[in-house]
A and B are shown apart, each in its own frame.
Chain A
C-alpha cells in the first residue's frame, strides 16, 4: 500500500531526526550558551511561523527589529467597528491607539491594554487582558483570498477553454482536468454513488483544491501556514459536518439512533456511541489536517534551523539534504492530505446517503 510506504518513509525520517536531535543536544551540553540563544531564537521563529500574523512579513531581523513585508488591515469589534493598519503595532513594539482605546499585539494576538501597553499575566503566564473580537484580514486570510482568486481564475479558464476548444481543455486546463476527473471518478463516485454524487461535487472539488493549493502555498518561502491552523481546519470540518448531517437520509439516522439488526439492549447501548461518532468523524478530519501540516512545517523548519546550529561541514549539508528530502515528502503529503480530507468527506457523504439494504 502506498500509504504504508509513506508512513514507513516518514518513520525513517523521524528516527533519523530524533537521533540527530539527540546529537545536537549533546553538542549543546558540551558547548557554551551561545548556541542556546540561537536555539531559542529558532524555536520562537518556528512557533511564530506556525501562527497567524497581522502583517505579511517575508523576512525579518528580530534583533535589529527590521521587517520586510507589508502591513495588513486590522478589524476589531470592540464597542464598535475599528479598522486600522497593522503597521500601528510596529510588530508588537508599540501600543496602537484607536478611537480612545489602546491595543497591543502580544504573541500574535491583540489585547486591549492601557496607554502604556501593560499586559497582566496569571500564574501560568497567560495574558489576562481583555481580547477584542478580531476580524482582521490576517496573513492567512490574505493567503486564502489569494488561493481563492487563483482557483477562480484557473478553473474558470478551464471552463472557458471547453467552449473555445470544442470540448477539449487547453492550457492550464490540460493539467487541471485530470485532477477534476480524479476527484469525480476516484473520490466522489466510488464513495457516494453514481446517483447522488452530483450535488456534492462542488464542495468536494473546492475543498480538494483549496486544501491542496494552500498546502502547497505553505511549502513556499512565503511562510504561510493556513491548513496548519486549527481555526481553518475547524471551519472545513464544520462544513463537512453540516453537509453530512443536513443531507443525511432516514436510513442514516436510523443507523445512529436505532441500529437495525441488533438486540434492543444493544440498540440502546449503540445509540450514544454512534451519536458520538457523528461528531468524532469531522473532529478527526480537523485534527488530522491540522496535525499533519503543523508537523510537516515544524519538522522542515527544525531541520533548516539545524543548519544554523551545526555550522559544520558535515552537519549543515546533512541537514540541507534532509530538509530537501523532507520537502519532497511534504509535497506528497500536501496532495495526500488534500486527498484524504476529500476522500473521508466523500465517505461520510456516502454514509449519509446510503440506502437501506437489509
Chain B
C-alpha cells in the first residue's frame, strides 16, 4: 500500500482525468452520438422493413384468398349458367316439339275438314250428276214411252187417278 501511494503521481492523475473527460465529451459529440443514432435508425429501419414485409405478406395472403374466392364464385356462376343454358335448350327443344306437334295436328285436322268438305261436295256433285243423268235417262225413257197417244192417255189416266186419291 505504501508503495502504491509512493507510486501515485498527482500530475498523471490530473492529466488522466483531463484527457479522459475531454475524450468522453469529444467522442460523445463526434462519435458515440452519431454512431448510436445511426445504429438505432438502422435497427428501426430493419424492424419497420420486417413489419411492412409481414404486412405485405398478410395482404398478399388476403389477396390470394380473395382471388380464390372470386375464382370459385366465377366457377360456380359459370356452372350455373351452363346448367341454365342446358335447361333452356332442353325446354326449347321440348317446346318446339310440342308446338310442332300441335301445328301438325292442326294441319292434319284442317286437312281432314277440307277433305270432308271436298268429299261432301264431291258426293253432292255426284248426286246432282246422277240425278241429272237419271232425269235425262228418265226423259229419254218417258219420251220413248210417250211416243204414242195411247200410252200418253194411260199416263194421264193413272196420274189423274193418283190425284183423286189425294
Contacts and interface: CB of A to CB of B under 8 A. Distances in A.
A201 B28 CA distance: 9
B12 A140 contact: yes
A229 B7 contact: yes
Given A144-B15, A158-B31, A181-B39, A206 B8 contact: no
Interface in A190-244: 198, 201-203, 205-207, 210, 229-232, 234-236, 238-239
Contacts of B21: 239
A163 B24 CA distance: 22
A136 B14 CA distance: 10
B57 interface: no
A227 B66 CA distance: 68
A239 B41 contact: no
Interface string A136-147: 111011001100
Contacts of A163: 38
Most buried by A among B15, B22, B34: B15
A231 B9 contact: yes
Given A144-B19, A158-B35, A162-B35, A235 B13 contact: yes
Contacts of B45: 167
A315 B117 CA distance: 153
Counting chain B CB atoms within 10 Å of each CB, the highest count among A126, A141, A177, A198 belongs to A141
Interface in A124-176: 126, 133-138, 140-141, 144-145, 148, 151-152, 155-156, 158-160, 162-163, 167-168
Nearest to B24: A206
B42 interface: yes
Contact of A52 (B6, B12, B25, B33): B12
Contacts of A141: 12, 15-16, 19
Given A180-B35, A231-B8, A152 B30 contact: yes
Contacts of B4: 230, 290
Contacts of A229: 7, 9, 12
Contacts of B25: 202
A148 B14 CA distance: 15
B32 to A, nearest CB: 5
Given A148-B22, A202-B24, A234-B13, A155 B31 contact: yes
B20 A210 contact: yes
Q: Which of B6, B25, B36 has the most CB of A within 10 A?
A: B36
B161 interface: no
A51 B10 CA distance: 14
Contact of A152 (B27, B35, B39): B27
- Chain B interface, >50% SS class: helix
- Residue in A158, A167, A231 with the greatest tally of chain B CB atoms within 10 Å: A231
A184 interface: yes
B20 to A, nearest CB: 7
Interface string B86-98: 0000000000000
B76 interface: no
Contacts of B28: 202, 206
Contact of B31 (A51, A159, A232): A159
Nearest to A229: B12
A239 B16 CA distance: 11
Contacts of A134: 9-11
A145 B20 CA distance: 9
Nearest to A157: B31
Contacts of B6: 126
B24 A231 contact: no
A238 B10 CA distance: 13
B4 to A, nearest CB: 5
Nearest to A107: B6
A38 B41 CA distance: 60
Give 10 closest A-B pairs by Cβ, nearest first.
Answer: A155-B31, A162-B38, A159-B34, A235-B16, A202-B28, A231-B13, A231-B12, A134-B11, A135-B11, A141-B15
Interface of B: 4, 6-17, 19-28, 30-36, 38-39, 41-42, 45
20 contacts: A134-B11, A135-B14, A138-B9, A140-B12, A140-B16, A141-B19, A144-B20, A151-B31, A159-B34, A167-B38, A177-B39, A180-B36, A198-B36, A202-B32, A206-B27, A206-B28, A231-B10, A231-B16, A235-B17, A239-B17
Given A135-B11, A210-B23, 17 more contacts: A52-B12, A152-B27, A155-B30, A162-B38, A167-B41, A167-B42, A180-B32, A180-B35, A202-B24, A202-B27, A202-B28, A206-B28, A231-B16, A232-B12, A235-B16, A239-B17, A239-B20
